[in-house]
Chains A and B, each alone.
Chain A
Amino acid sequence: MSELQLVQILSPEGELLTDPEYPLEISTEEIRALYRDLVMVRRFDVEATALQRQGELGLWAQSLGQEAAQVGSGRALIPGDYAFPTYREHGVAWAKGVPPEKLLGMYRGINHGGWNPHDNDFHLYTLVIGSQTLHATGYAMGIQRDKSNNAVIAYFGDGATSQGDVNEAFTFASVYHAPVVFFCQNNQWAISQPIESQTKVALYKRAAGFGFPGVRVDGNDVLAVLAVTRVALARARAGEGPTLIEAFTYRMGAHTTSDDPSRYRLAQELEEWKLKDPIARVKSYLTRSGLANEDFFADIEKEAEAMASKLRGDIIDAEDPYVEAIFDHVYAEPHPILEAEKNAYINYLESFAEGDMK
């Protein structure tokens, strides 16, 4: 991986480039909207991190630095396209319209999921690494059988590419030509393990062995990610099967708020990646091209602050789950043993005359 070849449309300095393979038709308004997305997603992540530090969340998995990979791919989806995230795809959730406060439920310990995936075609966060890539492939096989004109996108990280499930998902998707895009955010680190401990070849090249195309895109370039993902989704919809996209990016934060990257990586590395920041380059482009003025940026900052403030209120005011929720929904159909356990426990709680055990 000495020579880094990747698709790039917006350079880190904010210069607009062209890639003949990935022509991007995009209006100024759309670019301005993407900028807004990036800022909102980063502000959301900053607020969630602060909420964890203040004890309002048990844990948080930061998306800092990966906003372009997530927003660019998320905005390439059309209604009906289904996304299967890991636990870090806050930017995709944003693009899909999932209410931001819903993403915090499991990190606060209110629930293990907390949104209806079918409302926004955005599946629940999956914590077992790589498992969701098979769900995505199966969902795509369903789309195929329905003869629907939609596609699926499966998110996973560089570490997940070592998992059997991801390789099985590649196999199933390939042999069935399933309309699924495998979107790998290579953020260089799987907790403490660098990409070199997962693979000896560039990740995008693995696709060749499974019989479908792989492409590496600058994951901090929202325009390139959008263009590349659009092409992959179009291929999927046309019945040409899966594509592997390796979005080359960087986990600027810790793995989660429980992690301490200073134990295993150099601060210098982060400083180098800060120069490739996904938001700065869009701002630079918009400013230099005269497509946005100070008011535009200030308005978005204001909107982001308001969103963060609402998020904070929403999560602090969020009600704790009721005790019966332990038992509810374990099964879709009646289950006499759970009913008995639930009733026995409720009776036990009610046996405390004065105490409010709930």
Chain B
Amino acid sequence: MITIGKAINMGLRRALTEDPKVLVMGEDVGKLGGVFRVTENLQSEFGEDRIIDTPLAESGILGTAIGLALRGYRPVCEIQFDGFVYPAFDQITSQLAKMHSRSLGTLKLPVVVRIPYGGGIGAVEHHSESNETYFAHTAGLRVVTCSNPNDAYWMIQQAIQSDDPVIFFEPKRRYWDKAEIDEAAPSLGLHETRTVQEGNDLTLISYGPTVRTAIEVAAVCAKEGRSVEVMDLRTLSPLDLAPVFESAQKTGRVVILHEAPTFLGLGAEIASQITEECFYSLDAPVLRVGGFNVPYPPARLEEHYLPDLDRTLDAIDRAFAF
């Protein structure tokens, strides 16, 4: 059994071994092994030139990663916490995302930006945000997130192999979740949605840290005689919604669950697309369960902010009430 954090470490290690152009860079990623120990022992194995402890400057990390990529390297940048990515926002959205397009396809920018995201760890301000929508809204970026160790192991490698920039969101409160991983071959491509468990009465869509919540919700629903199909999006940009449409057409009811604020969140886009594609199959409007449209609250209030089992069950009840 391997944790998500260790699985990413193993994925990085394999990518570093297989391709000498792969670099890891960020604050405290070397000697310390990262504040979550995701890059533990990589510097002692691959050296300071490849596992780069950077100055404390996020824009600097991303900006120099772009330069390294232009020189033929494949940097994997770590942003220590979700709320610290904003100083690098110009470099990610205006520089990294647009350079391939501006160069009419002549420049490749294979940069991965790892961001531990989401709440639930009792942290101080700026350490619990789910800011994936900013990046999913930016053309030129790919955005993915893992929910389990096997995906963590494979998706980080697939992200590194991509010739496009990839924002790789890691569900930090699930870093210590354990499961077996299959080191032989990945079960899915980077941009594929997974049906976690099948059901007939309602489709529950989630990604990242709330996939586990969704599985727990489905178990409770099963006891109540409701068969819930659980889907793990995995890829937030581009979205892979074909299996979602198929599921919605089968169940007629859809609930979307994520930690990010529901206002203009991924759930809004997905609900809109389901309405366009599955209008005549729906028995209820697509409902969303997520964070409020507020700054992430202090830790002693975060249980009220985070969409949990009960709030999701409540939404499911409402979906069935139509």
Which residues of chain A have a CB within 8 Å of any CB of chain B? 111-114, 116-118, 123-124, 126, 128, 131, 133-143, 145-146, 164-165, 168-169, 171-172, 175, 328-333, 335-338
> CA–CA, A139 to B70, complex, Å?
7
Choice from A126, A145, A171 contacting B57 with Cβ under 8 Å: A171
List residues 86-109 of chain B with CB under 8 A from any CB of chain A: 87, 90-91, 94-95, 98-109
Chain A residues with CB under 8 A of B98: 112
Q: Give the bracket for the number of chain B residues in contact with chain A.
A: 35 or more
Beta-carbon contact of A333 and B60 below 8 Å: no
- Asked, given contacts A128-B94, A329-B105, whether A134 binds B100 with beta carbons under 8 Å apart, the answer is no
Beta-carbon contact of A116 and B57 below 8 Å: no
Closest residue of B by beta carbon distance from A170: B60
Chain A residues with CB under 8 A of B142: 331
Q: Measured between C-beta atoms, what is the minimum distance from A97 to chain B in Å? A: 16
Beta-carbon contact of B60 and A146 below 8 Å: no
Choice from A139, A169, A338 contacting B60 with Cβ under 8 Å: A169
Beta-carbon contact of A118 and B57 below 8 Å: no
Choice from B67, B103, B107 contacting A136 with Cβ under 8 Å: B67
Q: Measured between C-beta atoms, what is the minimum distance from B31 to chain A in Å? A: 15
- Asked, given contacts A131-B90, A331-B100, whether A123 binds B70 with beta carbons under 8 Å apart, the answer is yes
Question: Is B262 in contact with chain A by the CB < 8 A criterion?
Answer: no
Chain B residues with CB under 8 A of A134: 59-60, 62-64, 66-67, 91
Which residues of chain B have a CB within 8 Å of any CB of chain A? 49, 54-55, 57, 59-60, 62-73, 87, 90-91, 94-95, 98-109, 139-140, 142, 162-164, 238-240
Closest residue of B by beta carbon distance from A123: B70
Beta-carbon contact of B140 and A135 below 8 Å: no
Beta-carbon contact of A137 and B59 below 8 Å: no
Beta-carbon contact of B70 and A135 below 8 Å: yes
Closest residue of A by beta carbon distance from B103: A113
A-B residue pairs, 3 tightest by C-beta: A138-B67, A134-B63, A142-B71
Chain A residues with CB under 8 A of B162: 333
Q: Measured between C-beta atoms, what is the minimum distance from B255 to chain A in Å? A: 23
Q: What are 24 A-B contacts with C-beta separation under 8 Å?
A: A112-B101, A112-B102, A114-B104, A117-B70, A123-B70, A124-B103, A134-B62, A134-B64, A136-B67, A138-B66, A138-B67, A138-B68, A139-B68, A141-B71, A143-B71, A164-B57, A164-B87, A171-B60, A329-B101, A330-B101, A331-B142, A332-B163, A333-B164, A336-B238
Closest residue of A by beta carbon distance from B53: A175
Chain A residues with CB under 8 A of B49: 145
> CA–CA, A116 to B91, complex, Å?
20
- Asked, given contacts A165-B59, A168-B59, A337-B238, whether A140 binds B67 with beta carbons under 8 Å apart, the answer is yes
Q: Measured between C-beta atoms, what is the minimum distance from B168 to chain A in Å? A: 16
Q: Measured between C-beta atoms, what is the minimum distance from B269 to chain A in Å? A: 11
